[in-house]
Amino acid sequence: MYAEVAVNRRVTNTFHYHIPESLAGRIAPGHLVKVSFGTAYTTGVVIDLHEQSPVPITKPVIERLDPDPAVTPAQIALARWMSEQTVTPLGMCLWLMLPPGLAKRGDSLYSLVDEAADGQSETQKRLISLLRRRGPLRGRQISHALPHTRWQNSLAGLVKRGIVRQDPLMGAPDVKPQTVQTVELAIAANRVAGIAPRLGRESRRANVLEVLLAARKHRLTLSDVMK
């Protein structure tokens, strides 16, 4: 089985990943997954499942990031329509529907392996000098240290020669599930009239009982009851 995945990048295509045995039956459209993209890890949204892949060689889905789908089939359909109407990559349309911080982009950590090595270009020499001075750095840190420099291809050459080691990283989500405390009567409604006077006519506890009695067909949040 193959998962068709959209990533939050400026690319028009979606990508196919095979579902490993460990995730068989656990991946569905709408799930957030961790996948390998280029030389790093990134987060993707599964938009469909297929029996076959249009490409002969596929990478595996590495991890399902949450047991519950992050988007619904209706949202996927809406994102497809938005993508077609606005000529915007599908992944970027889907990301508009996700809570901020739910899924971070991946990065890589680069470490200098050969301290005595020298670069073949001026950019490679600057990269080696930077890693020698500061130690292992993430890609975003390198971009900050070398602004307006196209360092990616030069660093890829150093990785290929074994001078620099590249370790893919995946950021953890910034947001966590939120919980809401709710309150409802735990006694029969006809008992409230006998209990409330014993709590004092102006007692907050008596007022809470009266609020719950009036709204006994609805579940109220704790913050609403305590207002």
Q: In the structure encoding, which two tokens stand for residue 121, read together?
A: 């270009």
CB atoms within 10 A of CB 95: 20
pLDDT, residue 203, reads 65
- Report the topology of domain 107-170: Arc Repressor Mutant, subunit A (1.10.10)
- Its sign, for the CA torsion 108, 113, 115, 116, is negative
Cα separation, 166 vs 81, whole angstroms = 38
**What is the predicted pLDDT for the residue at 23?**
93
Please state, in angstroms and rounded to a whole number, the distance separating the CA atoms of residues 31 and 129: 42
The pair of structure tokens assigned to 91 is 């992944």
Closest by Cα among 141, 150, 161 to 130? 141
The answer on pLDDT for 88 being more than 60 is: yes
Check whether domain 2-95 has CATH 3.40.1440.60, yes or no: yes
Is the pLDDT reported for residue 3 higher than 80? yes
**pLDDT at position 68:** 85
Top-confidence residue, 61 or 215: 61
Q: Model confidence at 175, in pLDDT bands (50, 70, 90)?
A: low
Beta-carbon contacts of 199 under 8 Å, excluding residues fewer than 6 positions away, are 205, 206, 209
Residues 6+ apart with CB under 8 A from 67: none
| Statement: residue 79 has pLDDT above 60 | yes
Question: Comparing 65 with 94, which gets the higher pLDDT?
Answer: 94
pLDDT cut 90: percent of the chain above it: 53
Q: Does pLDDT of 212 surpass 90?
A: no
CATH 1.10.10.10 positions along the chain are 107-170
What is the predicted pLDDT for the residue at 59?
Answer: 95
